[in-house]
Structure 1
Amino acid sequence: MSAEIASMLLADGRLPTGGHAHSSGLEPALAAGLRQSQVPDFIRGRLETVGVVEAAATVVTRRWAVSGGSGSELEAISNELLARTPSAPLREASIQLGRGLARLASRLWPQHHAVQLLMALPGHPMRPLALGVFTAVAGMDDTAAARSCLYDDAQTVASAALKLLPVDPAEPVEWLLQVAPTIERIARAAVEVDCAADIPATTGPLVEQWSLEHNARSRRIFRA
């Protein structure tokens, strides 16, 4: 598989990883009063906080996989990411997405050492770890891995908006084009991270609070 094709696959909403069941926090944000006109700012805010953390973790994991690292090293990356995800519902959502992506990787490359260690990780991998391994095995470089992580988060919000808001289908496409420079800038920053301990610890307190409220609701469209 070429790196270019792998990048296209990861950007495809039909990829069987369970992402269609998530809104990247848009549903709870709207329930808390976010207006439709603020969705582009919401996307940008996620990229600047959650996005940079997850993109950096993806890059660090990709490098680990390429270098043939050990299971204990992968577990250390996982612990650093868990520590930077204080909301239990957000951790669980990331694990659900990571489990789906890891399952896909194990189907495509069952004999790869990094994939086997990913599947053996205690507690199941969060999304950035699974994405890091997937991008490594698929031959993608650091920048492409970070970009895939960031774009997936942004397009998840945009796709969810079509189900949650009375929006013209062309408008979410415009949102993604508007944040493209932000994605590129944060991808470059993520590549500058040297090791797991240096992964940024930025977060969005409102996103965390909304995730807790959303988790307690009995009526919802998306899991997170």
Structure 2
Amino acid sequence: MTPAAHTITMLLADARLPSGGHAFSSGLEPALQGGLAPGDVSAFLRVRGRTTTLVDAATAVVARHVALDMVLSREAPFATVERAWAARTPSRAARHASRELGRGFLRLARNLWPHSPSIGAVESTVPRPIVLGAVAAHVGLDPETLVRLAVYDDMACAVAAMLKLEPGDPIDGVRLVLDACAAVDPFIPQLAALTLPDAIPAASAPQTEAWTEAHAVSNRRLFRA
């Protein structure tokens, strides 16, 4: 990875990035409202990392591949990637939250790289992992780095939300993020090799999806999902 790409990676992984992540709990607020004990957050993150997060990371990798092909062929079939992602994201509320985050992230990306063909081809209604894949294609992130970034971002959002929902020592939150990311490490080479939408893994978590749906109609929430 080039020094410039390394810098961009650190920027994208920064929780202060104004792309809307500060308003997203990666499903943790719905889980806590649904009865998850604070002591089980570590287990929740590991499960999410191997299901929802894994699907999003794989979607970003495939979107990156599509974006690179687009630069060569002037075609960008992101719609096929989005349909594959949506089929693997059963919760309507989760899809809506991801598209809201994608809209904010895309706005930021277009401000930073207004002349990027890959970013310019992304529609404003796509979910965040597709925007992330298009950005990765533009800045030169390799697939494995992209997977790690996608996983870290999701876990970090959850832990940042936890410090508001269940205040504690931030260093404990850092440990949770590192442990959750490590749990996904065995899958990284497989995910990084994906190129086709149909190859995106279908790993769902029905209980967390039910919590997310209930959370969407709650009038006592701090985060989108």
TM over 0.5: yes
- Percent of paired sites with the same residue: 38
Q: Does 1:3 align with 2:12?
A: no
> How much does 1:185 deviate?
2.2
> How much does 1:63 deviate?
1.2
1:26 matched residue in structure 2: 28
> Contact 1:151–1:183 at 8 Å: present in 2 too?
no
CA RMSD of aligned residues (A): 1.5
> How much does 1:71 deviate?
4.9
2:91 matched residue in structure 1: 87
Find the aligned partners of 2:21 and 2:167 in 1 and give their Cα distance.
Answer: 21
More divergent stretch after superposition (16-25 vs 192-201): 192-201
Find the aligned partners of 2:192 and 2:109 in 1 and give their Cα distance.
Answer: 23
> Contact 1:50–1:203 at 8 Å: present in 2 too?
yes
Residue type at the aligned position of 2:224: R
> How much does 1:153 deviate?
0.6
Give the secondary structure class of the aligned counterpart of 1:24: coil
Residue type at the aligned position of 2:86: L
1:35 matched residue in structure 2: 37
Find the aligned partners of 1:132 and 1:101 in 2 and give their Cα distance.
Answer: 11
Q: Does 1:76 align with 2:77?
A: no
2:218 matched residue in structure 1: 217
> Contact 1:55–1:187 at 8 Å: present in 2 too?
no
Out of 104, 108, 124, the residue aligned to residue 100 of structure 1 is 104
Give the secondary structure class of the aligned counterpart of 1:2: helix
Give the secondary structure class of the aligned counterpart of 2:151: helix
> How much does 1:83 deviate?
1.4
Find the aligned partners of 1:8 and 1:208 in 2 and give their Cα distance.
Answer: 30
> Contact 2:28–2:161 at 8 Å: present in 1 too?
yes
**Runs of 5+ in structure 1 lacking a partner?**
none
The number of equivalent residue pairs is 221
**Runs of 5+ in structure 2 lacking a partner?**
none
